[in-house]
Structure 1
Amino acid sequence: MTPFLVVLCAALNRARGDDRWMPPWLPGRALWYVAPAIGLAAWLFGASLFTAIAATGAYLFWALWEWGRWFDLGRHPEGYNREGVEPTIVELAIGALSFGSDHVALFLRHLMILPGLIVLFWGPGLFWPLALSIAFAAAVVAIHEAAWRFVPTYPIPVAEVATGALWGFLILAA
């Protein structure tokens, strides 16, 4: 595989985060198109078919759940673009476990990568998927914090690109 996969995953994750690129006739969320594109990119750049399918499923499961209440990291009182929207059961559970900290909540939310990494890094134990999940979740929180601090006028797209690059590195490592 090639490092170009990292760049492509960065761009694809940004496309998942902003569906303005989608033509009006294309139904559903951008996620439904980006997840298979991630797997296809992995396969085209040398991953095995199993790894490509596992990457598609891992990415889809990870991106499916909400994190719009926390990716502002407390900078908006009602959550970024979530004011007036009832929280889902997943958001309520994460909110309860985070004791009101958006940083902890965002970290817990991004641990949703664990089931996908168990499949993507299939092996004799859970050490690497668990360690990579914790590192990934911590990195996503750090990326969001850095984006809000250093690019406050455009933090979310920057964080989406950087998080997509993390996905590219994970796929390269698989």
Structure 2
Amino acid sequence: MIAALFILLGCAALNRARGDDRWMPSWLPGRPLWYVAPAIGSLALLVASWPTALAATAAYLFWGIWPWGRWFDLGRLPDGYARIMPADPFERAIQALAFGSDHVALLLRHVMATPGLLLVGFASGWPLGLQLGLPLLVPVAITATYELAWRFNPSNPIWLAELATGAIWAGVILA
């Protein structure tokens, strides 16, 4: 029980750290993701075998590497608000598949968790229903956390969404 709570709080805090690089000293190179993903895997070692922890690290890294800065607002902010670069091929593909909906685009973006979640399920020996269900549920749950965060705290929702998304990753580890 204590380990589960530690993993839940740790994953929430780590995912928040992944989303905000203000904690990083200037001498530390790269994105926060490069440091957070192994820390997520290390937390998994508290309750899982090393193949499962390695799979969780890979899943989190693969999920986190793709952009979603165009859709985090779920259509609430004016286009161009985030001042990001022109869309790359991945973002253009997501936008084409989403037919203009930021909700659908964010959901499709979080589908990138699916390959890693299948790997975690296989490494963990999850029952088949969980192996197939969780990879479908996680992208929906993450997208829902962003929608709920915007509804509960519209002036500053992202930190809530990032904490909740980290808790979802903790649920994957604890499943």
TM-score range, shorter chain: over 0.9
Paired residue for 1:128, among 127, 130, 136? 130
Question: What residue in structure 1 maps to residue 74 of structure 2?
Answer: 73
**Matches of 2:44 and 2:127 in 1, distance apart?**
24
Aligned residue runs from structure 1 range 57-68, under 5 A = 57-68=58-69
Letter in 2 for 1:100: G
CA contact (8 A) 1:68 1:79 kept: no
Deviations 1:108-146 (A, max 9, x none): 110101110111000599753442122111111211111
In structure 2, relative to structure 1, the CA distance for the partners of 1:85 and 1:146 (3 Å cut) is same
- Stretches of 4+ moved more than 3 A in 1? 123-130
Task: Provide TM-score, normalisation by structure 1.
Answer: 0.92
The equivalent residue for 2:47 is: 46
Q: Measure, in 2, the Cα distance between the counterparts of 1:7 and 1:58.
A: 19
Task: Give distance in 1, aligned partners of 2:159 and 2:80.
Answer: 17
- In structure 2, the residue matched to 1:165 is 167
Cα deviation code 1:29-51 (max 9, x no counterpart)? 000000000001111x2211111
Structure 1 residue runs without a partner (length 5+): none
Per the normalisation by structure 2, the TM-score is 0.92
Identical aligned pairs, as a percentage?
A: 58
Figure out how many residues of one structure are paired with residues of the other and give that number. Answer: 171
CA deviation vs aligned residue, 1:1-45 (integer Å, no higher than 9, x gap): 5232011000000000001000110000000000000001111x2
Q: Structure 2 counterpart of 1:9, which letter?
A: C
How far apart, CA to CA, are the structure 1 residues paired with 2:44 and 2:108? Answer: 27
Could you tell me how far apart the structure 2 residues matched to 1:89 and 1:151 are? 32
| Distance (whole Å) between structure 2 residues aligned to residue 80 and residue 21 of structure 1 | 23
Unaligned runs of 5+ in 2: none
Amino acid at match of 1:97: L
Aligned-partner Cα distance in 1 for 2:101–2:11: 29
Instruction: Report if aligned partners of 2:47, 2:174 keep a CA contact under 8 Å in 1.
Output: no
Structure 2 counterpart of 1:11, from 1, 10, 13: 13
